[in-house]
Structure 1
Amino acid sequence: MKNQQKYVDRHRIALFLICFGSLCLSSCKSKDERPEKNHDASKPVVLTSFYPQEGGARDKILLDGENFGTDPGKIKVYFNNAKASVISSSGERIYAIVPRLPGANPRISVVVGEDSVTYNDSFAYHTQAQVSTVTGNGKMNFKPGTLSEAEVYGKYLELDAEGNIFMSWRDGGNPATFGVARINEQQNIVTPLIESEATGRILFANGLTVDRKTGMLTAAHESTKEVIFTFDPREAWYPRQRNVKFSAADLSSIVDADRYKNFITFCPYDGHLYTRYRDGRVAKINPETMEAKIVYKGPYGSQYGQAINPAKPWLLYITLHSNANPTEFRQGISVLDLRDPNGTGGFKRLNAPGGSGFRDGPLADALFNYPKDIKFDNSGNMFVADYGNHCIRMVSADNIVTTVAGQPGKPGYKDGGPVESLFNQPWGVAVNEQGDIYIADWSNARIRKLVIE
Structure 2
Amino acid sequence: MKNYRKSMDRCFAAFLWVCFSSCCFVSCKSEKEGPSKTYDSSKPVVLSSFSPNEGGARDKILLDGENFGNDPSKIKVYFNHAKASVISSSGNRIYAIVPRLPGDNPKISVVVGTDSVVYKDTFTYHIQAQVSTVTGNGQKNFKPGTLSEAEVYGKYLELDAEGNIFMSWRDGGNPATFGVARINEKQNIVTPLIESVAAGRILYANGLTVDRVTGMLTAAHESTKEVIFTFDPREAWYPRQRNIKYSTADYNSIVTADLYKNFVTYCPYDGYLYTRYRDGKVAKINPQTFEAKIVHQGPYGSQYGQAINPVKPWLLYITLTTNATPTNFRQGIMVLDLRDPNGSGGFKRLNAPGGSAFRDGPLADALFNDPKEIKFDNSGNMFVADYGNHCIRMVSADNIVTTVAGQPGKSGYKDGGPVESLFNQPWGVAVNEQGDIYIADWSNARIRKLVIE
Residues 27 and 147 of structure 1: is their aligned pair in 2 closer, same or farther, counting only changes over 3 Å? farther
Q: Distance in 2 between the 1:342 and 1:26 partners?
A: 70
Q: Is the 8 A contact 2:338 2:346 kept in 1?
A: no
Q: Distance in 1 between the 2:421 and 2:46 partners?
A: 43
SS in 1 for 2:374: strand
- Structure 2 residue 266 is matched with structure 1 residue 227: no
Q: Which residue number corresponds to residue 438 of structure 1?
A: 438
Q: Distance in 2 between the 1:74 and 1:416 partners?
A: 40
Q: Which residue number corresponds to residue 123 of structure 2?
A: 123
Q: Distance in 2 between the 1:391 and 1:297 partners?
A: 32
What is the Cα deviation at residue 80 of structure 1?
0.5
Letter paired with 1:186 = K
Letter paired with 1:156 = Y
Letter paired with 2:89 = S
What is the Cα deviation at residue 45 of structure 1?
1.1
Q: Distance in 2 between the 1:428 and 1:29 partners?
A: 60
Letter paired with 1:222 = E
Q: Which residue number corresponds to residue 16 of structure 1?
A: none
What is the Cα deviation at residue 346 of structure 1?
1.4
Q: Which residue number corresponds to residue 84 of structure 1?
A: 84
Letter paired with 2:302 = S
Letter paired with 1:286 = N
What does the per-residue CA deviation read over 1:134-173, in whole Å, with 9 as the maximum and x for residues that have no partner?
A: 0000000000000000000000000000000000000101
Q: Which residue number corresponds to residue 413 of structure 1?
A: 413
Q: Distance in 1 between the 2:155 and 2:25 partners?
A: 56
SS in 2 for 1:171: coil
Q: Which residue number corresponds to residue 370 of structure 2?
A: 370
Deviates more, 1:24-33 or 1:405-414: 24-33
What is the Cα deviation at residue 30 of structure 1?
8.0
Q: Is the 8 A contact 2:267 2:274 kept in 1?
A: yes
Residues 194 and 30 of structure 1: is their aligned pair in 2 closer, same or farther, counting only changes over 3 Å? same
Q: Distance in 2 between the 1:200 and 1:29 partners?
A: 81
Letter paired with 1:325 = T
Residues 432 and 28 of structure 1: is their aligned pair in 2 closer, same or farther, counting only changes over 3 Å? farther
What is the Cα deviation at residue 34 of structure 1?
4.1
Q: Distance in 2 between the 1:374 and 1:61 partners?
A: 33
Q: Distance in 1 between the 2:27 and 2:119 partners?
A: 30
Q: Which residue number corresponds to residue 312 of structure 2?
A: 312
Structure 2 gap ranges (5+): 1-23
What does the per-residue CA deviation read over 1:41-85, in whole Å, with 9 as the maximum and x for residues that have no partner?
A: 222111111000110000000000111111111111000110001
SS in 2 for 1:312: coil
Q: Which residue number corresponds to residue 55 of structure 2?
A: 55
Q: Is the 8 A contact 2:260 2:277 kept in 1?
A: yes
Q: Which residue number corresponds to residue 189 of structure 2?
A: 189
Q: Distance in 1 between the 2:324 and 2:42 partners?
A: 58
What is the Cα deviation at residue 114 of structure 1?
1.3
Q: Distance in 1 between the 2:29 and 2:414 partners?
A: 53
SS in 1 for 2:315: strand
SS in 1 for 2:348: strand
What does the per-residue CA deviation read over 1:67-119, in whole Å, with 9 as the maximum and x for residues that have no partner?
A: 11111111110001100010110111000000000000111111111111111
Q: Distance in 2 between the 1:225 and 1:132 partners?
A: 38
What is the Cα deviation at residue 35 of structure 1?
2.7
Q: Distance in 1 between the 2:33 and 2:64 partners?
A: 22
SS in 2 for 1:407: coil
Q: Which runs of structure 2 are paired with 1:263-302 in the superposition (5 Å)?
A: 263-302=263-302
Q: Which residue number corresponds to residue 426 of structure 2?
A: 426
Residues 228 and 34 of structure 1: is their aligned pair in 2 closer, same or farther, counting only changes over 3 Å? same
Residues 151 and 245 of structure 1: is their aligned pair in 2 closer, same or farther, counting only changes over 3 Å? same
SS in 2 for 1:147: coil
What is the Cα deviation at residue 39 of structure 1?
1.4
Aligned CA RMSD, in angstroms, stands at 1.4
Letter paired with 2:175 = P
SS in 2 for 1:111: strand
Q: Which residue number corresponds to residue 159 of structure 1?
A: 159
Deviates more, 1:164-173 or 1:44-53: 44-53
Letter paired with 2:138 = G
Letter paired with 1:116 = S
Q: Distance in 2 between the 1:156 and 1:25 partners?
A: 64
- Structure 2 residue 94 is matched with structure 1 residue 94: yes
Q: Is the 8 A contact 2:83 2:99 kept in 1?
A: yes
What does the per-residue CA deviation read over 1:408-431, in whole Å, with 9 as the maximum and x for residues that have no partner?
A: 000000000000000000000000
- Structure 2 residue 247 is matched with structure 1 residue 239: no
What does the per-residue CA deviation read over 1:374-398, in whole Å, with 9 as the maximum and x for residues that have no partner?
A: 0000000000000000000000000
Q: Distance in 2 between the 1:292 and 1:384 partners?
A: 29
SS in 2 for 1:257: helix
What is the Cα deviation at residue 194 of structure 1?
0.3
Q: Distance in 1 between the 2:269 and 2:27 partners?
A: 48
Letter paired with 2:327 = T
Q: Which residue number corresponds to residue 199 of structure 1?
A: 199
Letter paired with 2:77 = V
Residues 26 and 126 of structure 1: is their aligned pair in 2 closer, same or farther, counting only changes over 3 Å? farther
* Greater gyration radius: 2
Letter paired with 1:97 = I
SS in 2 for 1:206: strand
What is the Cα deviation at residue 27 of structure 1?
5.4
Q: Distance in 2 between the 1:342 and 1:177 partners?
A: 39
Q: Which residue number corresponds to residue 45 of structure 1?
A: 45
Q: Distance in 1 between the 2:346 and 2:211 partners?
A: 26
SS in 1 for 2:182: strand
Residues 355 and 42 of structure 1: is their aligned pair in 2 closer, same or farther, counting only changes over 3 Å? same
SS in 1 for 2:269: coil
Q: Distance in 2 between the 1:220 and 1:191 partners?
A: 20
Letter paired with 1:173 = G
Percent identity (aligned): 87
What is the Cα deviation at residue 28 of structure 1?
4.9
TM-score, normalized by length of structure 1? 0.93
SS in 1 for 2:205: coil
Letter paired with 2:354 = G
Q: Is the 8 A contact 2:109 2:119 kept in 1?
A: yes
Q: Distance in 2 between the 1:233 and 1:33 partners?
A: 58
Q: Distance in 1 between the 2:154 and 2:63 partners?
A: 46
SS in 1 for 2:257: helix
What does the per-residue CA deviation read over 1:221-271, in whole Å, with 9 as the maximum and x for residues that have no partner?
A: 000000000000000000000000000000000011011100000000000
SS in 2 for 1:207: strand
Residues 70 and 270 of structure 1: is their aligned pair in 2 closer, same or farther, counting only changes over 3 Å? same
